[in-house]
Structure 1
Amino acid sequence: MKLIAVITTVDNMDDAQNIATAAIKSRLAACAQIEEISSIYSWKGQIENTKEIRITFKTTSTRWHELKAQITASHPYEIPAIYSLKIVDVNESYLEWANQINH
């Protein structure tokens, strides 16, 4: 199976931890990393400069649609950014571990 990274952002740590924990408990992701970032974006005609929390999930491509649906269902944003990135190379032992977690 192919390993992917799924990324989204939220505006507070509680939401980030709840979304990440739900994904791990439901075995839709092998792990999730949470980090504070600064985001600059256009929203409703205004330039916003805010602190956000980025969540990066490691999962398999077969879990993408289920994970995206679960994140969407609990995401607090009106229009959340939820996207995946292909991981081109990964060490075999990590890939094996991620595949075991996601099954």
Structure 2
Amino acid sequence: MKCYFDDLCVDKIIIGNNVTISYGVYFACHGRKQGHNKIVIKDGAYIGMRTSITARHDIEIGEGAVIGAMALVNKSVPAGTTAVGVPCRVIDKGC
């Protein structure tokens, strides 16, 4: 699916059960002059096409959260919400 998983810290990327990761998603756990941080995606989350998840600090995408296509996730997203945009922002808090 042409996704990129940060090859320097694959152990920091934790993906739960029944998660959908669409085409071309980018996972970056580190950057210049920063530590290696965790990316945790909880059960049932959906990550839209061409999303970039860039962890300057630990990031958690909550259970059942939906990330819209081409979003930039640079902070945690609560469970059951929908987040879109660059950088992403929550647009729907679910039920």
Higher helix share: 1
Higher strand share: 1
**So what's the TM-score if we normalise by structure 1?**
0.21
Between 1 and 2, higher relative CO (CA 8 Å, sep ≥ 6) is seen in: 1
